[in-house]
Chain A
């Protein structure tokens, strides 16, 4: 997932990133060519951007390229793996390539704009401010600022790397001249790994016609439109299965929105039928996928939507609203809806549950789709792109 983080950390002050002049000595000083360093406001090990950043760093290092992660603010969980952005100037080399992991607004932008090194923007998406406006004006303002910063970076960056074509369109729209599309770097479960996927071929894990378990994965935030999944569950219980349940897995991200979803669930009489697991561990997430009958995505905006890939890799059918990168990621391997009518969603899920050949076709299409997305090679592709930029800087 590439959702925005919370509003950005406080500015570092005028000394951030140090002097624009390269320092006299640094980590990469004995290297024949420059380093490729990444900048991110905060490095969270539990989110998609954080994992992507660390994976890219490791791949760069594996190829002998000096690479560090510089942050504006420390996360206690990752502080041992990062350096303060203010310290970069001391080790800077003119041939360095700086990679900005862009998912939200940050004071890092102004600092990076002042640096002379080549800059690559790795763009993970900005959720439109309008989606936050009714729930959190501060966050909406933050997203507005992020849009402005992306436009500023367009004139500064050597290259923009988007994780999807939808995201690339954002880059082109704000003026990036050179763009590439490389999917996010993620670890997916091996489909042959025991317990990694639902068993469908031997009929052991046939879908439940009663007590169906829906799964929604993602931060509980307005762009995820969890309320539409709740309304669809209401329709499904009224029409097909009064014991169906929805499990929402993801961090409670926007308090006013989270409160409203909880109240909506209560008003609709779905307390107990809709459960909120919050942020979970990898093992718990895997368990949630294994226990579910369908992944439902009702998002109003998705820059990539990794849960769809995770579900397909685990042989879990996907029903999704056609928005953002969903058509690009899901392809023909899931059910795409052009409407959020709760009855339409309920009917689609019922079809997936009740029509075994259809379900099997979806599962098989999903399993076949995952390799086509190229996520297993995304890291190497991104590193190739970055090294290409570095070669021009040398």
Chain B
């Protein structure tokens, strides 16, 4: 066996090594994060058990403080009889004649506090009363808080279980609908997303959105969803910073290997993570063909909120007739939404305040279309 933290492979013959390469490490982190998001609590970094642990650690500190205040400074319960109130320790009886309270001394703050107070009174320490007034209620409040958390945790657990059963989406829904072939739209997308706009207008009126993308504090162009990454790669090749979302893990893997900075998850997650007014451009594709009308409108609202003023939006959709007839029976049954017509997207973009809204010409578009707009 041989191994190291870098993940080198070992076995009976340590001289054999396996070279490793693959997608960027950031993508592998994304892959792991995609699983963590499925946790009911979303994160292991904060949870009820963590809260319990902190509270109980605090309680332990108080226990130790109380124990240290006893005349012999001993372990709570280890010499309880001498301390005047604590139960005898199991260790005190080595001959096998164990006797023990059902409530361990070190678990019961009241016993500790009383024992400590007792010892203080007997030792004549003048500050005993003052200290127990300070420590005793804290013990009690910590214990009460722990119990309250336990109750709350149980309630939350039940609610989470119920919510998981009631609202869990159909697993892998994205796989039921093929993403539009974005490679057909590379030229038009690059042209539009790098277009500085009428008069070169930008957020400060002194430059197009191309300069926004490259400029101060303006975020990347988001491609959601990116499929295997052809469009995202092309946009990157045109000098744009690109961040992409793709919920289909295998497809996302291919995009990552092609060099795309891809979020393995839903488009909405990526848009929500961006600061308001920060994005240099957004491409909506794929996801808009299969989610419900409400979710389509929400995605547009999200994109609108996150786009910088003057930044471009491109919606690439599938023509409804082609989509519905082309979908397999299962997709037609299970997919909650249907693609919108290009005219509908024009209307939605107009209503959302976009300018320069138009259907984009493309002789190679096939069953797909694109609608553009400027925030």
Contacts and interface: CB of A to CB of B under 8 A. Distances in A.
A322 to B, nearest CB: 6
A259 B22 CA distance: 28
Contact of B8 (A113, A137, A262, A338): A338
Interface centre among A156, A269, A334 (most CB of B within 10 A): A269
A269 B44 contact: no
Contacts of B161: 255-256
Nearest to B252: A268
B40 interface: yes
A265 B249 CA distance: 9
Contacts of B47: 133-134, 137, 140
Contacts of B44: 130, 133-134
A27 to B, nearest CB: 21
B122 to A, nearest CB: 26
B44 to A, nearest CB: 4
B270 to A, nearest CB: 15
Interface in A100-135: 110, 113-118, 129-130, 132-135
Q: How large is the interface on B (under 10, 10 to 19, 20 to 34, 35 or more residues)?
A: 35 or more
Nearest to A364: B12
A152 B6 contact: no
Contact of A116 (B40, B53, B97): B97
Contact of A137 (B10, B32, B49, B171): B49
A333 B38 contact: no
Interface stretch (A42-50, A61-69, A282-290, A341-349): A341-349
Interface centre among A227, A265, A327, A331 (most CB of B within 10 A): A227
Interface string A238-269: 11000000000000000110011011111111
B33 to A, nearest CB: 11
Chain A contact surface mostly: helix
B216 interface: no
Nearest to B4: A338
A55 interface: no
A234 B249 contact: yes
A358 B13 contact: yes
Contact of A114 (B32, B43, B102): B102
Contacts of A133: 41, 44, 47-50
Interface in A179-229: 227
A256 B96 contact: no
Interface string B95-116: 0111110101001000000000
